[in-house]
A and B are shown apart, each in its own frame.
Chain A
């Protein structure tokens, strides 16, 4: 077979995959998002599906809350996982660290739904944490933790942490230990080494991890729905409601696209503010 023939044979499955599963459904959704059923039952083109989001404040307030929490979870994910990534790549022995990295993957194998139920067992009023705290006499009545923003944040953090730690570990891994030693030899304190050497070196990894975590969290449905309380409405829940409760697919599609555009905008602004370039993040 000719070279060109082989090339087409290899490329066709990819194109089919992308077209059937990604491009076509999205185009259909986009088409729907601009359609409106008039009072006499006719379908017309309209922007009103999008306007609903801006006119009804419950929608955009929910989005703002979702975005703020997603940014918060991303920052928390960095704070929580950086020491772990540093420990696994720079402190512990190599043989040991690959085993521990494997342990990090376990929550992903179990699946988000199961881990979320796991957190319910821990956090509910008669759950492990409250029972323990009451038994040692630290508190008299259970602290309300489940179905609050707190439990939702924990759930989101737990399911997204790994996606922060992996790119950070690969960035730290590629950093030569002698950079740290050189800085220390030149008189830098531990804090200066962290701020001036380690963080700038790992920035591409932190940024790519941050983008993944932010996008995962802002588009997540399970953790906010199960762990969050009534006050913890997540934007994805509103999209779900549009499709499956009010059967308004056109508005649902419009909200879906708004989520995509707005969250991409936030990532873009964040990259601009921190002086990062998207091309650099991948490397």
Chain B
């Protein structure tokens, strides 16, 4: 398997602060790779090192096997779509897209055909002479992507380009970007703090925290089997508990909730349970399922994403539970008693 990007032990220091701390990973050719993390986790610094705007303090960065250390951004086979897109306001759509090709001194005819091809691909044919300031948010987005892709880079870097769009358009662009990536086959590396963007679009996602990668995995694995407590808490919603003891296959949480969990060989400190892991109205005698009695506190209606907040009677812990909108629970009211079941496999335990 050939890697389009290899990052070997890369560190970036700003003064004494390590923004990126000895990160290593490989990206396979032709994939959609996302780096997911909160603000200040170092993801933007990492992206800027790949694009060449920041120097690597230690380590090595290879694109198609060629070391990029010391090579300036204009000479790297890597292009970037900026967060604010950075379209040139004094040029029209055509000149924006042609800018990079003209820098390579390609013949006029070739520039024209390649620009036209690319504009067709992103659905902007006929917009050549429009000013970029006259375009809608989604169209500007596509100009920015076309402007980079027309250079046929080995890697396209995207720095949260969907952040400024409204929700509806963002949902639409997510799908569009994924389809475009599959069609063109260029490797996309996408930086975001929005887990839904990362999970929907990517083949693989790296979760970053404090300059390090917590886990690199497929979106599904990331969600189902988070390797660290950070990933469990960051990716998707979760109910978090502090565990105080673990004896004879029973976990005891800070506020006294006792819950069965076998097959772990360490003493956990943290316990995470997804909202959808709770089984409403669970039968009494299922194997490996613990029953918990609760009282409904509030119903947070949000269509298919509706949740209820319940108090666990045993410990007074408040937890969020997914609440399907079907006829069975139509009459559930705030203040009602509710028995929920939790399967052992849905209890995610962590050392720290």
Contacts and interface: CB of A to CB of B under 8 A. Distances in A.
B82 A181 contact: yes
Interface in B74-103: 74-75, 79-80, 82-84, 86-90, 99-100, 103
Among A186, A192, A197, A200, max chain B CB count under 10 A is at A186
Contacts of B45: none
Interface residues of A toward B: which range? 10 to 19
B38 interface: no
B73 interface: yes
A187 B100 contact: yes
B206 interface: no
Interface string A144-164: 000000000000000000000
A188 B74 contact: yes
Given A178-B82, A192-B103, A184 B88 contact: no
B35 interface: no
B84 A186 contact: no
A189 B88 contact: no
A187 B89 contact: no
Given A184-B74, A187-B151, A201 B99 contact: no
B103 A185 contact: no
B100 A186 contact: yes
A193 B176 CA distance: 31
Contact of B79 (A179, A185, A189): A185
Interface residues of B toward A: which range? 20 to 34
A244 interface: no
A187 B89 CA distance: 18
Contacts of B74: 184-189
Given A192-B103, A201-B90, A185 B73 contact: yes
Interface string A252-271: 00000000000000000000
B103 A176 contact: no
Nearest to B79: A185
Contact of A183 (B75, B89, B99): B99
Interface in A175-208: 176, 178-179, 181-189, 192, 196-197, 200-201
B209 interface: no
B51 interface: yes
B99 A186 contact: yes
Among B84, B103, B148, max chain A CB count under 10 A is at B103
Interface in A99-125: none
Contacts of B17: none
Contact of A176 (B53, B84, B148): B84
Interface in B40-69: 51-53
B172 interface: no
A187 B90 contact: no
A201 B89 CA distance: 8
Contacts of A197: 88
A199 to B, nearest CB: 10
B88 A179 contact: yes
Nearest to A197: B88
A45 B148 CA distance: 70
Contacts of A176: 84, 86
B89 A186 contact: no
A186 B82 contact: no
Contacts of B129: none
Contacts of A181: 53, 73, 80, 82, 86
Contacts of B103: 186-189, 192
A125 B72 CA distance: 50
Nearest to A201: B90
B88 A183 contact: yes
A200 B88 CA distance: 10
A221 B151 CA distance: 56
A259 to B, nearest CB: 35
A186 B79 contact: yes
Contacts of B86: 176, 178-179, 181-182
B328 interface: no
Contacts of A178: 82-84, 86
B263 interface: no
A26 to B, nearest CB: 38
B168 interface: no
B348 interface: no
A181 B72 CA distance: 11
Interface in B117-143: none
Contacts of B90: 200-201
A120 B352 CA distance: 75
A153 B90 CA distance: 34
B280 to A, nearest CB: 49
A34 to B, nearest CB: 46
A67 to B, nearest CB: 30
Contacts of A182: 80, 82, 86-88
B104 interface: yes
Contacts of B88: 179, 182-183, 197
24 contacts: A178-B83, A178-B84, A178-B86, A179-B86, A179-B88, A181-B53, A181-B73, A181-B86, A182-B87, A183-B99, A184-B72, A184-B73, A185-B53, A185-B73, A185-B74, A185-B148, A186-B79, A186-B151, A187-B74, A187-B75, A187-B103, A188-B99, A192-B103, A196-B99
Given A185-B148, A189-B103, 7 more contacts: A182-B82, A183-B99, A185-B52, A185-B53, A186-B99, A192-B103, A197-B88
- Shortest 5 CB-CB distances between A and B: which pairs? A186-B100, A182-B86, A187-B103, A178-B86, A200-B90
